[in-house]
């Protein structure tokens, strides 16, 4: 059965809430029913077939073509299913995702993977601030799953991250790992200022030396046994993280943020 | 049935259901992985008094272990899940956590999980770190040589314990040589251990005792020095009997191990002083798994 393909006909001026098109909401629906679903756009409601031309039948494999940066909430609370976004995605991509897989060929906006519970999110391009973070006012961000960003990430990556893994091939902005509760963030490129700001626990794994605050203490050079396991787990990814040449187990360990609980760690490749 | 002059008794070994797990110990080199494994599986010959039966299944190459270091697979068997969990945790804490450079992993898939490093983490006094990697939870416990890495849980599976056969020989050295040959062959079989010292037990037991406090006592029917004073199973020329006990993850695994073990003994043959192969048969009091020697060797 061919994937259900939604091809954007035009770019609306207002942002569009795509959450009704998460795979679990489409299960068992006929194409005509899907076409009649309404999407909130600004203060208007648009029928799906007003905005998209539809083809294919497999509602558990969704392709969004000609996507652009105002399509928000793609894959919200996704349960199983596979969504491919050809182009850019808006804000709140994969928010609260429970399982399944989302791939974005372009960039994504703010709060991608925020409060995600499980599953796999891959962003080929760049992503905005608060990747895998918590919604404003909430205290717990991403709780599980894996996010892979092949480009760069904005500020506050993994804000309030509770569990799960965020892998960034490019750079991460300021406050990466801020207020982390636990989990792992790996950044191959450069990181900005205030790395791990107020992090409680968790691991920041870096390939390049960071600019660390005074509230991170040097714990020395170490060979850590869990790192080979971590890199072995990356082998299944279509990513630089899967390459043998990027793996290491020798690190400089910094503990912090001592202004908070101080059980977190920044591991820098040596 | 007679193989190479060795008589195979028309009897059967009795075995009983057990709970089992397999763990993998890795270390900087095979020497230290073996030291940890030997320590962890020490004093684990019989559930009668050790709480569990354990043994080294085999050594593992770096390619076979989760962290790419040399390792050892150890099998544990106990009468119940609670006992198994208690023994595993105690032994992991005292023998593997303490052993230099070691790491500890689950070695068997099962939906039933028992704690491995789950509670050992408290040794980290709050400095321990959990990591979920590829769906498995690990604990990193800071220790004086670096970090002790352990998987949080191990799988628990149904298993069979107490498969056995007896080697009746003309002399003690001949019985031991035959058992050594059998053990060498049986160690190549996966999913089984022979938990007694060197794989051989010279003090086979019967169920019950004249002393009420004991639930097992010497198997007098196979004690050569008692030939004239008990209902002996031994011929006049038999001077020594040794037993090999096998625990396995399935009946088929024990079948296989018994076959290669008895075969190895029979290859030495009557000319090496081997007279008979028999088995611990306790009239059905012990367990539901019956291993008929002649069927196994057919």
User: Chain A: nearest CA to B201, how far in angstroms?
Assistant: 39
pLDDT of B223: 96
Binding-face residues of B in 84-123 toward A, CB within 8 A: 103
| Residue A203 contacts B, CB cutoff 8 Å | yes
Tens-digit pLDDT profile for residues B51-109: 999 999 999 999 999 999 999 999 999 999 999 999 999 999 999 999 999 999 999 99
Is residue B235 over pLDDT 80?
Answer: yes
pLDDT of A41: 95
* Domain assignment present for A170: yes
> Are the C-beta atoms of residues B156 and B113 closer than 8 Å to each other?
yes
Is residue B30 over pLDDT 90?
Answer: yes
Is residue A245 over pLDDT 80?
Answer: yes
User: Cβ B66–A184 below 8 Å, yes or no?
Assistant: no
* Domain assignment present for A221: yes
Question: The complex's ipTM?
Answer: 0.91
How many H helices and E strands in chain A?
4, 17
* Alpha-carbon span A160 to A166, nearest angstrom: 13
Is residue A38 over pLDDT 90?
Answer: yes
User: Chain A: nearest CA to B128, how far in angstroms?
Assistant: 9
* Alpha-carbon span A18 to A69, nearest angstrom: 12
Of 3.30.70.520, 3.30.70.1150, 3.10.690.10, 3.30.1540.20, which CATH number belongs to B2-14+159-297? 3.30.70.520
| Residue B68 contacts A, CB cutoff 8 Å | yes
* Alpha-carbon span B41 to B233, nearest angstrom: 33
Write the burial class of residue B48 (CB in 10 Å: 0-12 exposed, 13-18 middle, 19+ buried). exposed
> Are the C-beta atoms of residues A126 and A144 closer than 8 Å to each other?
no
Is residue B210 over pLDDT 90?
Answer: yes
Residue ranges, comma separated, of all CATH 3.30.70.520 domains in chain B are 2-14+159-297, 19-157
Compare B48 and B10 and report the one with higher pLDDT: B10
Tokens of B268: 């030495």
Of B68, B133, B149, the CB nearest to A233: B133
User: Cβ B66–A232 below 8 Å, yes or no?
Assistant: yes
| Residue A201 contacts B, CB cutoff 8 Å | yes
Name the residue among B143, B138, B137, B151 with its Cα closest to residue B125.
B143
Mutation to test the B interface, candidates A226, A231, A264, most B Cβ within 10 Å: A226
* Domain assignment present for A171: yes
Mutation to test the A interface, candidates B28, B102, B129, most A Cβ within 10 Å: B129
List the beta strands (DSSP E) in A120-168.
Answer: 120-123, 146-149, 165-168
* Alpha-carbon span B270 to B253, nearest angstrom: 27
**Averaged over B140-168, what is the pLDDT?**
96
Tokens of B41: 């599986």
pLDDT of B260: 97
Domain B19-157, second-level architecture: 2-Layer Sandwich (3.30)
Question: Look-up: residue for tokens 């500020």?
Answer: A155
Of B131, B138, B146, the CB nearest to A223: B146
Name the closest residue on chain B to residue A263, using Cα atoms.
B127
| Residue A229 contacts B, CB cutoff 8 Å | yes
Confidence of residue B206 (pLDDT cuts 50, 70, 90): confident
> Are the C-beta atoms of residues A141 and A156 closer than 8 Å to each other?
no
* Alpha-carbon span B121 to A19, nearest angstrom: 41
Tokens of B76: 């544990």
* Domain assignment present for A16: no
* Domain assignment present for A243: yes
* Alpha-carbon span B218 to B209, nearest angstrom: 8
The conformational region for residue A61 under phi > 0 = left, psi -120 to 50 = alpha, else beta, is beta
Is residue B216 over pLDDT 90?
Answer: no
Tokens of B243: 């037993």
CA-to-CA separations, A168 to A199, A233, A248, B64, in angstroms, rounded: 18, 15, 16, 30
Domain that holds residue A186: 91-269
pLDDT of A8: 96
| Residue B132 contacts A, CB cutoff 8 Å | yes
Torsion angle of C-alpha atoms A58, A59, A62, A66, degrees rounded to 10: 100
Is residue A153 over pLDDT 80?
Answer: yes
Name the closest residue on chain A to residue B142, using Cα atoms.
A224
> Are the C-beta atoms of residues A189 and A172 closer than 8 Å to each other?
yes
**Averaged over B15-35, what is the pLDDT?**
97
Cross-strand pairs, B143: B146
Of B103, B134, B149, the CB nearest to A233: B134
pTM of the predicted model, to two decimals? 0.91
Peptide bond into A257 cis (omega under 30): yes
Distance of CA B131 to the CA centre of its chain: 32
A-to-B residue pairs, Cβ atoms closer than 8 angstroms? 45
* Alpha-carbon span A201 to A189, nearest angstrom: 22
Mutation to test the A interface, candidates B67, B70, B146, most A Cβ within 10 Å: B67
Tens-digit pLDDT profile for residues B269-294: 999 999 999 998 777 767 889 999 99
* Alpha-carbon span A147 to A159, nearest angstrom: 14
* Domain assignment present for A58: no
User: Chain B: nearest CA to A186, how far in angstroms?
Assistant: 13
pLDDT of A1: 72
Cα B221-B222-B228 angle, rounded to 5 deg: 60
**Averaged over B131-147, what is the pLDDT?**
96
Q: How many domains does chain A have?
A: 1
**Sign of the dihedral defined by the CA atoms of residues B266, B267, B268, B273, in that order:** positive
pLDDT of B283: 75
* Alpha-carbon span B170 to B239, nearest angstrom: 5
**Averaged over B243-249, what is the pLDDT?**
97
Q: Which residues of A touch B131 (CB under 8 A)?
A: 184, 203, 226, 230
| Residue A217 contacts B, CB cutoff 8 Å | no
**Is residue A232 classed as helix, strand or coil in its secondary structure?**
helix
What does the mean pLDDT of chain B come to?
95
Binding-face residues of B in 176-235 toward A, CB within 8 A: none
* Domain assignment present for A48: no
pLDDT of B48: 85
């Amino acid at each position: 059965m061919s994937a259900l393909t939604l091809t954007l006909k035009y770019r609306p001026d207002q942002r569009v809430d795509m959450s009704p098109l998460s795979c679990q909401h489409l299960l068992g629906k006929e194409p005509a029913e899907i076409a009649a679903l309404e999407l909130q756009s600004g203060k208007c409601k648009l029928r799906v077939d007003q905005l998209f031309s539809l083809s294919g039948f497999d509602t558990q494999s969704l392709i969004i073509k000609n996507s652009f940066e105002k399509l928000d909430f793609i894959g919200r609370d996704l349960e199983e299913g596979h969504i491919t976004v050809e182009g850019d995605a808006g804000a709140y991509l994969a928010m609260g995702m429970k399982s399944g897989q989302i791939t974005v060929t372009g960039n994504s906006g703010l709060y991608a993977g925020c409060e995600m519970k499980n599953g796999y999110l891959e962003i080929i391009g760049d992503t905005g601030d608060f990747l895998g973070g918590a919604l404003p006012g909430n205290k717990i961000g991403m709780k599980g799953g894996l996010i892979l960003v092949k480009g760069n990430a904005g500020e506050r990556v993994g804000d309030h991250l509770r569990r799960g893994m965020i892998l960034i091939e490019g750079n991460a902005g300021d406050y990466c790992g801020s207020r982390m509760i636990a989990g792992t963030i790996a950044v191959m490129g450069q990181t900005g200022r205030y790395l791990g700001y107020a992090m409680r626990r968790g691991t920041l794994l870096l390939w390049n030396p960071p600019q660390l605050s005074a509230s991170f203490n040097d714990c020395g050079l170490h060979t850590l046994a869990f790192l080979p396991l971590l890199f072995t787990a990356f082998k299944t990814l279509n990513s630089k993280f899967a390459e043998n040449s990027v793996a290491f187990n020798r690190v400089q360990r910094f503990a912090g943020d001592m202004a908070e609980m101080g059980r977190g760690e920044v591991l820098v490749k040596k | 049935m007679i193989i190479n002059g060795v008589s195979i008794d028309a009897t059967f070994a009795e075995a009983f259901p057990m709970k089992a797990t397999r763990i993998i110990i890795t270390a900087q080199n095979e020497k230290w992985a073996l030291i940890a494994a030997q320590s962890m599986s020490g004093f684990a010959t019989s559930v009668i008094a050790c709480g569990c039966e354990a043994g080294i299944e085999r050594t593992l190459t770096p390619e076979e272990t989760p962290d790419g270091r040399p390792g050892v697979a150890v099998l544990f068997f106990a009468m119940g899940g609670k006992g198994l969990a208690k023994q595993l945790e105690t032994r992991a804490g005292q023998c593997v956590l303490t052993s230099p450079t070691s790491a500890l992993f689950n070695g068997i898939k099962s939906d039933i999980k028992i704690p491995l490093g789950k509670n050992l983490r408290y040794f980290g006094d709050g400095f321990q770190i959990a990591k979920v990697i590829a769906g498995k939870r690990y604990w990193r416990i800071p220790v004086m040589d670096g970090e002790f890495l352990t998987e949080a849980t191990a799988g628990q599976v149904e298993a069979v314990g107490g498969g056995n056969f007896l080697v009746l020989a003309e002399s003690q050295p001949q019985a031991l040589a035959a058992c050594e040959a059998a053990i060498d062959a049986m160690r190549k079989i996966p999913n089984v251990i022979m938990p007694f010292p060197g794989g051989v037990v010279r003090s086979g037991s019967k169920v019950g005792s004249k002393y009420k406090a004991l639930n097992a006592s010497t198997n007098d029917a196979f004690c050569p020095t008692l030939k004239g004073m008990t209902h002996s199973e031994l011929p006049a020329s038999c001077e020594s009997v040794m037993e090999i006990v096998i625990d396995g993850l399935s009946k088929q695994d024990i079948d296989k191990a018994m076959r290669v073990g008895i075969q190895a003994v029979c290859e030495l043959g009557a000319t090496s002083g081997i007279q008979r192969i028999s088995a611990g048969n306790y009239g059905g009091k012990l367990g539901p798994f019956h291993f008929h020697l002649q069927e196994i060797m057919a």
